[in-house]
Amino acid sequence: MAGIYVHIPFCKQACYYCNFHFSTQLNNREAMVAAICKDIDLRHNYLTERKLNTLYFGGGTPSLLNRSMLASIIDRIHDHFEVEEGAELTFECNPDDITPDYLTELRSLRINRLSLGIQSFFDADLQFMHRAHSGTEALKSLELIKQAGFDNISLDLIYGSPTTTDKMWQYNVQSLIDAGVPHISAYCLTIEDNTVFGRWHKQKRMEAIDDEKASRQFYYLLDALENAGYHAYEISNFAMPGFEAVHNSNYWSGVPYLGVGPSSILIMKRNVNGV
Ligand code: SF4
């Protein structure tokens, strides 16, 4: 078995903490999809294994691609590989892109695992981080995903932000537990070079992340999730039994994989290291 990671390098706007490789020039999407298809043609022989049991669309923001763009990439993968029946097809998406129609389209492409970048249910956090969605949209998207019948869902949260009080963090964690979300990825906010936060920090307009608060919020998360039946199977990833990400777990167990798209190797390394 083997897996393929596809990096989709587009975002609506730049989150102030993010130093991933992405562009906000959405009019280049068709050209990028063509380049990714070419990448698959040129590099598919890197894998000697022809059967895939995972596909992972990460970003950037894959949910900025429409159905026909996604179908082009998936079809090209099918030209070279056999995607096993029941393979895990993960798709990263942002709350502001989720509509019932879009979810139906994702299902028609056999996407069966959604990773939703919620980060927080509080507008104060989301606005500070310059996320494109609101707390209301975060809740609504989760509801729509469940109504559409996706049960393999992962949600991202960020802790340690100067705007996130312990009470807010507890609310975020408890909301996901109460919603029955089976997989949670939680990341500590970091100040990276070449980001708005990095610039603010250098200009002394932003304090360093409060390590004590971040550590307190992380330990709260560990306890709350453990008590709710989740287990920590990676530094930043927590799952109910049977909902561990097959794609990420395969990195650890040495299953061969291919990364396509402009920054796929760097992003995969970050996913494995939990940063
Ligand atoms: S955090 Fe995600 S949505 Fe925000 S800029 Fe980075 S890749 Fe794009």
Q: For residue 163, how far is its CA from the centre of ligand 1 (angstroms)?
A: 19
Please report, for the domain that includes residue 226, its CATH number.
3.80.30.20
Q: pLDDT tens digits, residue range 58-79?
A: 999 999 999 999 999 999 999 9
Beta-carbon neighbour count of residue 62 at 10 Å? 27
Cα dihedral sign for 99, 105, 107, 113? negative
Q: What is the mean pLDDT of residues 119-140?
A: 98
The secondary structure element, H or E, covering residue 189 is: none
Of 82-91, 167-176, 256-265, the least confident: 256-265
**Cα–Cα distance for residue pair 268/230, rounded to 1 Å:** 24
Short-list 206, 243, 266, 254, CA closest to 60: 266
Measured in Å, residue 227 CA sits from the centre of ligand 1 at 31
Does the beta carbon of 257 sit less than 6 angstroms from any atom of ligand 1?
no
Asked whether residue 270 carries a pLDDT value surpassing 90, the answer given is no
The percent of residues above 90 in pLDDT, for the chain, comes to 95
State the burial class of residue 35 (Cβ atoms within 10 Å of its Cβ: 0-12, 13-18, 19+): middle
pLDDT attached to residue 74 = 98
CB of 14 closer than 6 angstroms to any ligand 1 atom:
yes
Lowest pLDDT segment from 141-145, 192-196, 268-272:
268-272
Tell me: the pLDDT tens digits for 182-194?
A: 999 999 999 999 9
Q: Are strands 231-232 and 82-93 parallel, antiparallel or unpaired?
A: unpaired
**Ligand 1 binding pocket mutation candidate from 15, 25, 192 (most atoms within 8 A of CB):** 15
Cα–Cα distance, 177 to 196 (Å, whole number): 32
Contact between residue 13 and residue 96 where contact means Cβ atoms under 8 Å apart: no
Interval 196-252: pLDDT, tens: 999 999 999 999 999 999 999 999 999 999 999 999 999 999 999 999 999 999 999
Helix, coil or strand: residue 264: helix
Our answer on whether the CB atom of 61 is closer than 6 Å to any ligand 1 atom is: yes
Whole-number pLDDT of residue 33: 98
CB 10 within 8 A of CB 251: no
Please report the pLDDT score of residue 275 as a whole number. 44
Fill in the amino acid letter for 232. A
Nearest CA to 19 among 205, 189, 236? Answer: 189
> How far apart, in Å, do the first and last CA atoms of the chain sit?
26
Split into its structural domains, the chain has a count of 1
- Indicate which residue's Cα is closest to atom 6 of ligand 1: 18
Q: Are 46 and 242 in contact (CB under 8 A)?
A: no
Tell me, in angstroms, the distance from the centre of ligand 1 to residue 179's CA.
Answer: 24
CA of 220 to the centre of ligand 1 (A): 26
Structural domain including 239 reads 2-273
Per-residue pLDDT reduced to its tens digit, 31-48:
999 999 999 999 999 999
pTM score, two decimals? 0.95
- Identify the band that residue 263 occupies on the pLDDT scale cut at 50, 70 and 90: confident
Q: What is the mean pLDDT of the chain?
A: 95
